[in-house]
Amino acid sequence: QSALTQPASVSGSPGQSITISCTGTRSDVGSYNLVSWYQQHPAKAPQVMIYEGSKRPSGVSNRFSGSKSGNTASLTISGLQAEDEADYYCCSYAGNSTLVFGGGTKLTVL
């Protein structure tokens, strides 16, 4: 079970869109539509932004969207706002009731 691969950092200006990728294998991302995405602000617990690959919990802005193609899941944030600056983690079901996280991506809003 290896960590999913995410870019270490991404950046964008207010109003722009960014996409964070999350690459796994046929054993996790590629086999299940069970990828979730988490936003973590400094010194805070993470909170879910996307589950089951593309579903948004109630209360999460529709500026956040998720998708998947093959072994790679993606999180897109449109209309970037200063409050979106945070760390983002993907997480996938990996079979046998196990989970695996990505290494995390630091989003900077310029």
Q: Which residues bind another protein (CB under 8 A)?
A: 1, 3, 32, 34, 36, 38, 40, 45-48, 51-52, 55, 57, 87, 89, 91, 93, 96-104
Residue whose entry in the numeric block shows the structure tokens 């990505």 = 102
In whole angstroms, give the CA distance from residue 23 to residue 28. Answer: 10
Nearer to another protein, 12 or 104 (CB): 104
Q: In the complex, what is the shortest distance from the CB of residue 47 to another protein, in angstroms, rounded to a whole number?
A: 7
Nearer to another protein, 52 or 83 (CB): 52
Nearer to another protein, 12 or 102 (CB): 102
